[in-house]
């Protein structure tokens, strides 16, 4: 599991490095995730270590959102007056993400079955 975690962190480091060198406005972890996706695509899937690590992280995914959720309670007063817009954006974003995820799963599931 440690090997898988090191792989994930190395890809994040590569993403952060590329962002710093190119001054790209995209977050480093997003670039690292795209690099990881490209590597997995070229390699035809993850290694056993990476697969175990990612499954463990997915099982505890809600813990990764706790710091962000707690941070919402300590927003400055200038931002707190827009709580309704923030809440609406969160609900709409969640709804759109759920729709897109459902569509993507349905589309990808169809590719695995010969028709």
Domain end (from 59, 86, 105): 59
Please say if the pLDDT value at position 74 is more than 80: no
Domain end (from 59, 79, 99): 59
Q: Calculate Rg over the CA atoms of the chain.
A: 18
pLDDT of residue 67: 67
Confidence tier at 113 by pLDDT (50, 70, 90)? low
Q: Are 31 and 10 in contact (CB under 8 A)?
A: no
Judged on CB neighbours under 10 Å (0-12, 13-18, 19+), 33 is middle
Would you tell me how many other CB atoms lie within 10 Å of the CB of residue 4? 20
Structural domain count, the chain: 2
Cα 103 to Cα 4: distance, rounded to the nearest angstrom: 30
Per the prediction, the chain carries an average pLDDT of: 86
Q: Are 5 and 52 found together in one domain?
A: yes
Question: Once rounded to an integer, what is the mean pLDDT over residues 26-47?
Answer: 92
Residues 6+ apart with CB under 8 A from 57: 64
């Amino acid at each position: 599991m440690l090997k898988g975690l090191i792989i994930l962190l190395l890809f994040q480091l590569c993403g952060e490095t590329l962002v710093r060198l190119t001054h790209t406005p995209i977050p480093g972890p997003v670039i690292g995730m795209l690099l990881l996706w490209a590597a997995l695509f070229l390699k035809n899937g993850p290694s056993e270590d990476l697969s175990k690590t990612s499954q463990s992280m997915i099982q505890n995914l809600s813990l990764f959102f706790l710091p962000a959720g707690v941070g919402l309670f300590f927003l400055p007063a200038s931002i707190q007056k827009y709580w309704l817009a923030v809440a609406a954006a969160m609900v709409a974003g969640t709804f759109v993400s759920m729709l897109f995820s459902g569509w993507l799963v349905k589309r990808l599931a169809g590719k695995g079955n010969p028709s």
